[in-house]
Amino acid sequence: MHLETKRLILRKFEETDFERVFLIDSNPEVMKYIGVPPLSDIGQSKNIIKMIQQQYLDNGIGRLAVIEKESNLLIGWSGLKFLTQEINGYNNIYELGYRFMPEYWGKGYALESAKASLDYGFNDLNIDIIYAMAHCENEGSNHILRKLGFEKTGEFTEPDGLCFWYELKRKNN
């Protein structure tokens, strides 16, 4: 699968993306509110790509690499994941997420990519409800989710603190 917006291409992860994934996931600023420590070994990013590729096969969906058209560089990831491990009492649901390199923050890329993923989920996959979550102090992500129309429907506690739980329903018209 392949999604395109004005400035971005969202495509499946490939093995050769591991260096860019490591740059993202080893950055403490990026990982501040994620609840897992930054990567310390580049081999871990190869495993992450393998895991996501397995999700494509098992679930027909997974996070997508985001390529900035202007530079042709992988600048982050965005998209829907089918959750197969229980979080906040939910399981087997579609969840929206995104993560970008700090050099590319503040350009509207998170919103632009999220909108494309939501359109795909609601209109192509016919998903009725898409979920999302963010650490309570992650101002940027909470702002983006509200701006996309998500409604905060709950709170739950992770080892690194309180997280907000969001839902967005498909508009039937």
Ligand X SMILES: CC(C)(COP(=O)(O)OP(=O)(O)OC[C@H]1O[C@@H](n2cnc3c(N)ncnc32)[C@H](O)[C@@H]1OP(=O)(O)O)[C@@H](O)C(=O)NCCC(=O)NCCS
Nearest alpha carbon to residue 11 among 43, 53, 48: 53
Nearest alpha carbon to residue 5 among 75, 55, 52: 75
Please tell me the chain's helix, strand, coil percentages from 3-state DSSP, rounded to the nearest 5: 35, 35, 35
Binding string to ligand X for residues 34 to 73, with x set by CB under 6 A, is what? ----------------------------------------
Q: How far is the CB of 147 from ligand X (least distance, A)?
A: 6
Sole residue written with tokens 């990982």: 31
Restricted to residues 85-144, the positions that interact with ligand X (CB under 6 A) are 98-100, 105-111, 134, 138-141, 143-144
Taking CB atoms, the residue at the shortest distance from ligand X is 140
Nearest alpha carbon to residue 52 among 22, 81, 74, 91: 81
Q: How far is the CB of 141 from ligand X (least distance, A)?
A: 4
- Give the residue with the Cβ less far from ligand X, 56 or 105: 105
Q: How far is the CB of 85 from ligand X (least distance, A)?
A: 17
DSSP code at position 32: T
- Interface with ligand X (CB under 6 A): 30, 33, 98-100, 105-111, 134, 138-141, 143-144, 147
